[in-house]
Amino acid sequence: MDNKEVISHEFDYSNVLPDAKAISVLVNYCDNVYKQFVSLVESDEEKNKPFKPEYKDYMYKKVFSQGFEVIIWDKSFSHNSCNDINSFSLAVQNGSLNNISSLEIKMNIDFARGKGESLDTNENSFVISFKPYEIIFKRKSNHNDPEMNQIEESINAIMRQLPVSNTIFCTK
């Protein structure tokens, strides 16, 4: 199903023009993906509950390094942390996306997969950083997993839909 292989991709979107609406689309997508992932983990845990440890067969076993967060840094270096689309939307309504110094969307989709006691940890980190003149999307994984590849492609598709601008620093 997947291959153990280090994936480290970085995409430069420094010429896009991010606004609150565009970033909300990204946050909404990541929030939905993360909620679906949590649901898969819970379902897999429930499916394996009746079995003895040696007979459990996990596709998505919970590990403690998973999470989703949007961090908004203002000019005074204080930050506002949002952990879902609702808290992000509230931050936007409260003006937290005006005159910021940076914003980061982080999604860690880590899980263990395997049978019995021989579980293999799958680490998948997706980070989209917005700083003036520097907008970067990074993905790091320790497996080549088709579902994680699809998430990467979907984030890139959303980023490619953002309006772009040619400047002396960046061109389309």
Q: In this structure, what are the phi and psi dihedrals at residue 9, rounded to the nearest 5 degrees?
A: -110, 145
For the chain, what is the mean pLDDT?
A: 91
Residue 65 identity? S
Mean pLDDT of 99-115: 93
Query: Where along the chain do its domains lie?
Result: 3-160
pLDDT digits (tens, 9 = 90+) for 12-47: 999 898 889 999 999 999 999 999 999 999 999 999
pLDDT at 64: 79
Q: What is the pTM of this model?
A: 0.90
Distance CA 38, CA 66 (A): 9
Per-residue confidence at 97, pLDDT binned at 50, 70, 90?
Answer: confident
Distance CA 75, CA 136 (A): 20
Longest dimension (CA), the chain: 63
Per-residue confidence at 62, pLDDT binned at 50, 70, 90?
Answer: confident
Query: By the 8 A CB rule, do 142 and 4 touch?
Result: yes
Query: Which run of H or E residues covers position 49?
Result: none
pLDDT digits (tens, 9 = 90+) for 111-123: 999 998 889 999 9
